[in-house]
Amino acid sequence: MKRMLTRRGFLKAGGGALAGAYVLGLAGCGGGGEQGGTSKSLEFWGFDEGRVNFAKAGYKSEAFTSKYGDVEITFRILPYEQMHDKLLTALVSGQGAPDIADIEISRFGQFIKGDRVPLLGLKQRISDAIDDIYKPAAVDPWSWKGEIYGVGNELNTVVMAYRRDILEDAGVQLPFATWDDVIVAGQEISTGDRKMFAIHDLAFGDHYMMMQHAGTSYFDENGNYNGDDPRSIEAMQFLHDLVYKHEIASIAPAEANDNWAPPQYMASFRAERFIATFGPPWHLSFFIDQVPDQSGKWDVQKLPEGLGESRPTANFGGTGMAITEQSGNPEASWALIEAANLTKEGVLFDFKERTAYPAYKPAYEDPALAQPNDYFGGVKIGQLYSDIADDLPAFRQSPVWPDTTEALQRDVITPVMNDKADAETALRGLKRTVEELQKEQ
Amino acid sequence: MQPRVDEAGQGGDRKTAPGGGSGKRRWGGRRSTAAPYLFLLPFFAVYSTFLLYPTFSALWLSFQEAVALDTPSFIGLENYVRLVQDERYLHALRNTTVYALASVFILSPLALAVALAIRSFLVPSVNLKSFYRISLFLPFITSFVVIALMFSLVFNKDFGLLNSFFRSVGLPELNWLRSERLAMLSIVLVGIWTYLGVNSLYFLAGLQNIPHELNEAAAIDGANRRKTFLYVTLPLLRPTILFVVIQATIFSYQLFEIPFLLTNGGPSDATLFLSQYLYEVGFSQFDRGYAAAIGYSMALISIFLTVVQLLLYRRFTR
């Protein structure tokens, strides 16, 4: 009897084939994670070429090759958003994640939402080196509920930098002792075309640095919203007043898709429209690279006093390396993290390549970090960073950190810095938004 | 009759081969029934894996509470109820609708005007018409990233092209992308620049399908250009108008790249569109269930508006 392949039969067969392929696909994944694994082929995901080169240097180092010379690591660079999104998706789906990944400080909150953290705990592994690192910079941003999930190498201590030549010509006494002195000096040099500072209205960084300097942070030790703390309000009001009351600052020329230091921002410093700034080493490195003709004219100092508790510094930025729960060889993955972040050789590579000041304390014994910095008027900037690093405030992570900073930017920073909202009202108003976000977790 | 023998040595008499009931079914016959389906199989496999499965999976996800890596749990219509209570969703919906209205009521008439201009006396040379057609299509095939970068320079407050022009004619500079009042207008202007050309081409194609005889008949009957356009051209362009309006509406509710790259939804949500809000909820808040509900709401809105437009079209063509 003839057996025609009917449409229904075709669909059944096709469906069966698809289901079979799906099951086979699922069966093909898995393994590794906390249970261990000895895969000889690992994968590293990063979003910044400089940082991936830093990881590659760790891979090639004696510290790694002496233990895992037979392990091969594939390094992949993906765009910032795409890398974090793909990593999250791969971790949710249970397959496709790399063994090791760079996670930027402001994106880590997404990985600790919910009850299960899809990264391996590193607390035990790092315990021997814990006293050798500046914790607020090296591990706090990638820590949650007492466990450490990532290690960073950058000491992102915030300092103030200014054009010594212009200020001295104006008869200003340097270094600045208080913010009042800064304001007086700013009024001295400010004209229609020149201001002291460029304050951002599309990024939360300025407020984040100043609120830490004032002695508080967005979340308290229990993970509750703390942005309406009086010191945070004082910091926001201070930034607002620099522009609208004291008139020694203008809104930073930035844009939504590059909201911190786009070409026009650096161009305005080249044109001497702004003559001072505050920020971490990565921020100051933009000046060395993009405003080279002002070399030797700049100076740096710790943050002046007169704002809240007046901590001499704050913490801003950083990226940590983490091991995913899908890692096929957690021990080799840790060896890479250790070689890159917790050895002098590893962190000095990144210092030489990207001027990333290390969060690994023993590295400061190296003469390279004690050298005077020509760009910043011969200041021993490494010494300055390590001197103030012990005053870094603790970083308090939260699962709603990315959402909170987005809301803060939208509902507080932009309206306040455009003189359309009151700092206190806006920061208190944000509390309800953050509490709603926390409820949804 | 001697059956024809093909090169492969198999019987080729189509009258006796499949379904002949002789019990002498050959492999060649069986293969011929399966072959069309096998040719279709790759398409269905890809379609099922990458379209049908995600579509139904997302629908199921929209009825679940699925935050971060936690195990999803069924919550019925809660995510959809949350939509109407979510101020940011409603704000994004309003922004998207404003853009869609601008696409329909500003972009589409402009595109028609450009098409008429190209077809009419303004561009008499055939070669010039081809040139216009090519140049009109170029913005549509330009990468959104390139468009966004270009317009971020055009709209720049300090050294942008627009403000330079304003300065040169003595007008005040405007903060195109950072003013809550102007940011949406800027996005609409970019949308017009991007889609004007391709929509004009649609209209050009529609205009070319209108027989010349009808215009000539109208002229003989004494109709002037305006009347010919209103009573001959426009009614015959209805299918094209419907197509342009429907695709403009659908594209508007899918708009993501331009506002994301130019304003990132700001300032203060002034240009937050539904697609970006979906992205934020899905990948920043990592609330996958609610993000799926937002996605389905966008699909339902597009389907609803398309049906309304189709019904209106039918009513007016009766």
- What's the half-sphere exposure (Cβ side, CA atoms, 13 Å) at B295? 20
Whether residue A147 sits in one domain with residue A167 = no
Whether residue A163 sits in one domain with residue A180 = yes
Distance from CA of A5 to the nearest CA of B (A): 6
For residue B223, the model assigns a pLDDT of 86
Whether residue A256 lies within 8 A of chain B, CB to CB, comes out as yes
Q: Which of residues 398-427 of A touch B (CB under 8 A)?
A: 399, 402-403, 406, 409-411, 414-415, 418
In-domain check, residue B72: no
Whether residue A306 sits in one domain with residue A425 = yes
CATH of the domain at A222: 3.40.190.10
How does DSSP assign A389-436, residue by residue? HTTPPPP---TTHHHHHHHHIIIIIHHHHTTSS-HHHHHHHHHHHHHH
Whether residue B110 sits in one domain with residue B12 = no
In-domain check, residue B229: yes
For A392-439, the pLDDT digits (tens) are: 998 999 999 999 999 999 999 999 999 999 999 999 999 999 988 887
Distance from CA of A438 to the nearest CA of B (A): 10
Dihedral sign from CA coordinates of A3, A9, A14, A16: negative
Q: Are A362 and A132 in contact (CB under 8 A)?
A: yes
Residues B266, A410: C-beta atoms closer than 8 Å: yes
Q: How far apart are CA A316 and CA A208, in angstroms?
A: 8
Q: Which residues pair with B287 in a beta bridge?
A: B67
Say if strands A151-152 and A276-279 run parallel, antiparallel, or are unpaired.
Answer: unpaired
User: Of the residues A348, A365, A382, which one is the last residue of a structural domain?
Assistant: A365
In-domain check, residue B55: no
| Whole-complex ipTM | 0.78
Q: Are A105 and A204 in contact (CB under 8 A)?
A: no
Residues A410, B44: C-beta atoms closer than 8 Å: no
In-domain check, residue A375: no
Whether residue A203 sits in one domain with residue A306 = yes
Name the pTM for this structure.
Answer: 0.82
Residues A92, B284: C-beta atoms closer than 8 Å: no
Whether residue A192 sits in one domain with residue A139 = no
Whether residue A177 sits in one domain with residue A51 = no
Phi, psi of A277 (to 5 degrees): -160, 165
Walk along chain A (441 residues) in steps of 10 and give the mean pLDDT of each run: 53 52 39 66 96 96 95 96 93 93 94 90 94 95 95 96 96 96 96 94 96 94 90 97 97 89 94 97 94 96 96 95 96 97 96 93 93 93 93 91 92 94 96 86 67
In-domain check, residue A377: no
Distance from CA of A402 to the nearest CA of B (A): 7
Residues A113, B69: C-beta atoms closer than 8 Å: yes
Q: Are A127 and A420 in contact (CB under 8 A)?
A: no
Buried b (16+ CB within 10 A) or exposed e, A67-77: ebeebebebee
Residues B158, A264: C-beta atoms closer than 8 Å: yes
Distance from CA of A323 to the nearest CA of B (A): 16
Q: How far apart are CA B35 and CA B308, in angstroms?
A: 42
In chain A, which residues have their Cβ closer than 8 Å to the Cβ of B69? 91-92, 113-118
Q: How far apart are CA A270 and CA A267, in angstroms?
A: 5
In-domain check, residue B73: no
Q: Which two tokens stand for residue A89?
A: 């998706």
In-domain check, residue B114: yes
Q: How far apart are CA A189 and CA A170, in angstroms?
A: 7
Whether residue B123 sits in one domain with residue B4 = no
Peptide bond into A175 cis (omega under 30): yes
Q: Are A178 and A306 in contact (CB under 8 A)?
A: yes
Whether residue A224 sits in one domain with residue A255 = yes
Whether residue A408 sits in one domain with residue A346 = no
Q: Could you list the residue range(s) of the whole structural domain that residue B1 is in?
A: 1-44
Whether residue B98 sits in one domain with residue B214 = yes
CATH of the domain at B182: 1.10.3720.10
Whether residue A402 sits in one domain with residue A361 = no
Whether residue A184 sits in one domain with residue A262 = yes
Residues A255, B177: C-beta atoms closer than 8 Å: yes
Residues A14, B70: C-beta atoms closer than 8 Å: no
In chain A, which residues have their Cβ closer than 8 Å to the Cβ of B157? 253
User: Which chain A residue has its CA at the smallest distance from B38's CA?
Assistant: A10
Whether residue A60 sits in one domain with residue A147 = yes
For B150-177, the pLDDT digits (tens) are: 999 899 888 889 999 999 999 998 989 9
In-domain check, residue A25: no
Count of the separate structural domains present in chain A: 2
Q: Could you list the residue range(s) of the whole structural domain that residue A172 is in?
A: 159-314+394-439
Distance from CA of B116 to the nearest CA of A (A): 38
Residues A2, B34: C-beta atoms closer than 8 Å: no
For B228-248, the pLDDT digits (tens) are: 888 888 999 988 999 999 989
- The residue written with tokens 């990132």 in the block is B264
For A48-71, the pLDDT digits (tens) are: 999 999 999 999 999 999 999 999
In-domain check, residue A85: yes
Residue among B178, B182, B272, B290 with most chain A CBs within 10 A, to mutate: B178
User: Which chain A residue has its CA at the smallest distance from B157's CA?
Assistant: A253
Question: pLDDT confidence of B4, banded at 50, 70, 90?
Answer: very low
In-domain check, residue B182: yes
For residue B33, the model assigns a pLDDT of 81
Instruction: State which amino acid sits at residue A438.
Output: Q
Phi, psi of A75 (to 5 degrees): -105, 125
In-domain check, residue A382: no
Residue among B268, B277, B280, B287 with most chain A CBs within 10 A, to mutate: B268
In-domain check, residue A305: yes
Whether residue A294 sits in one domain with residue A219 = yes
In-domain check, residue A5: no
Whether residue B138 sits in one domain with residue B25 = no
Residues B34, A5: C-beta atoms closer than 8 Å: yes
